[in-house]
Amino acid sequence: MRIFSVPVALVTLVDSQRQWFKSHPGIEIQETPRELSFCAYTILGDDVLVVPDLSRDPRFCDNPILATTGTRFYAACPISATDGSKLGTLCILDRQPRELSAEECQLLCDLASLVEEEINIHDLKDAFARLKESETSLKDFFENASDMIAFVSPDGHLMEMNQAWLHSLGLNDSRAASMSLLDAVDPADRDRIAEVHKRTLAGQTVFNFEATLIDAAGRQIAVEGNMNCRFRNRKPGYSRLILRNITERKKVQALKDGLIAIAAHELRSPLASIYGSLQMLKEDAAQGEKSRQWIDMSWRNTSRMMRLIDDYLDLEKIEAGQVNFDLKPLELVPFLEQVLEANRGLAQTAKLRLTLDYQDAAAKVLADRDRLTQVVTNLLSNACKFSPAGEEVSVRVIRVAKGIRVSVQDHGPGVSKEFRSQIFNKYAQAASPQGPKKGSSGLGLNISKAIIEKLGGGIGLENLEGQGSIFFFELPELKDTVS
């Protein structure tokens, strides 16, 4: 560089592994390992580093670069990024020992500032270009997504909607611009969706909720979706709403349920007649051994079909709101003791022990005794089904944030990761370690879920794969009122 009368001037960049040269007139090599880099020392500080004779400096005297390049003099000024982190240096090298005056040091700093500014401007241009590209990609994804996406202001106004939203509701841009979220929701669902929006403004993400929208022609559109909020300066900025149109899926499900319901109703009466006849034949002592075996097999299969149909019709009534729940205060511990006693024979047959553990014997809930018995019996039956002989099925009653939790723990293989999301679906059946179990409809947990939700609670699973499962339900606690 003629300004300093040196043969070599470099713009170096240094990372955790290496040093490489952005510009390197006067030298052939283009990079070195970091441990051989002079500049790795320079970027440890903020000032110009001047080494008049590298061969006499203990930091550099044994550096092999001195021998390969003949370098003796080194001076450099660090170059920083916009965030203050060190990027590298502007350095000058000479093959003769020499000094650098104060004026030359200042000039080297001024030139380094120009290099730093140029690098940062270039990086900012690259960053801006990448940002624009990312923004274009996101906009393209937003507009062309098959799901309905909208941004909702804290006061419930629809700020922006994608094409799927407009197309699904039959709206044009001008009409959509004046709408609130609740304007698009069926009146029957507005309070619930308003509550979902309120929860997102409080910082929650609400998953997998269902709702019914109304399109421009007044038709209903079934949707499911998620909603969360983007905060700005710790205040709600807007909520992001993603919905999926499930109208066709609902229609198919309704058609399927209708066909099953018709089949169940039509089969119930003839099956009951067959079941009664087989029961009478089964009790007839005059039957031969071979005939008795065939009758027993037919009776068991008919019993299984009867339970399947009864379970289905039971679930159908619950979902349709045709079951009246006789809600009364219920002391959980005495109630559970009775249910466990009623199921002790089942446990003994499977060579299992039933135990009950509780924190407060006076814990109460408001529930339908018969329906809650159905839930607990189903959980106990599943636990016995999947537990190996000699183990314990334990029932616990504890207080949680949402009220009272009743859990049933087994020591079986647990629920596989693939099956967990389906466990409460209709006809869901996991394989038992003893092989397929007869007599199960696959509706028990789905019915239990429907009952607990009708009672104002929730049901779930804590999985201990390889060690067992804990199925639980939670109900609001009934507090004694003080008069």
Kindly calculate the radius of gyration of the chain based on its CA atoms and give it in whole angstroms: 37
Look at residue 459 in the predicted model and tell me its pLDDT.
92
State the pLDDT confidence band at 123, using cuts at 50, 70 and 90: low
Is 295 within 8 Å of 287 (Cβ atoms)? yes
Q: Mean pLDDT in the chain?
A: 83
Contacts of 344 (CB under 8 A, 6+ apart): 354
pLDDT at 432 over 50: no
Task: Indicate the class that CATH gives domain 328-475.
Answer: alpha beta
Is 363 within 8 Å of 405 (Cβ atoms)? no
Look at residue 395 in the predicted model and tell me its pLDDT.
95
pLDDT at 268 over 70: no
Q: Whose CA is closest to 48, among 9, 81, 79? A: 79
Look at residue 288 in the predicted model and tell me its pLDDT.
66
Helices (H) and strands (E) in the chain, counts: 12, 18
pLDDT at 136 over 50: yes
Is 88 within 8 Å of 13 (Cβ atoms)? yes
Is 293 within 8 Å of 273 (Cβ atoms)? no
Look at residue 50 in the predicted model and tell me its pLDDT.
95
State the pLDDT confidence band at 462, using cuts at 50, 70 and 90: confident
Look at residue 226 in the predicted model and tell me its pLDDT.
94
Contacts of 164 (CB under 8 A, 6+ apart): 145, 146, 147, 148, 149
State the pLDDT confidence band at 212, using cuts at 50, 70 and 90: very high
| Residues 363, 404: Cα–Cα separation, whole Å | 8
* Range name among 164-168, 262-266, 309-313 with the lowest pLDDT average: 262-266
- Gap between the terminal Cα atoms of the chain: 95
**Sequence letter at residue 184:** A
76-108: pLDDT as tens digits: 999 988 788 888 899 999 999 999 999 999 999
Question: Domain spanning 8-126: which superfamily?
Answer: GAF domain (3.30.450.40)
* Average confidence (pLDDT) over 146-156: 92
Is 403 within 8 Å of 475 (Cβ atoms)? yes
What would be the CATH architecture of the domain defined by 145-245? 2-Layer Sandwich (3.30)
State the pLDDT confidence band at 323, using cuts at 50, 70 and 90: confident
Look at residue 145 in the predicted model and tell me its pLDDT.
87
Is 196 within 8 Å of 188 (Cβ atoms)? no
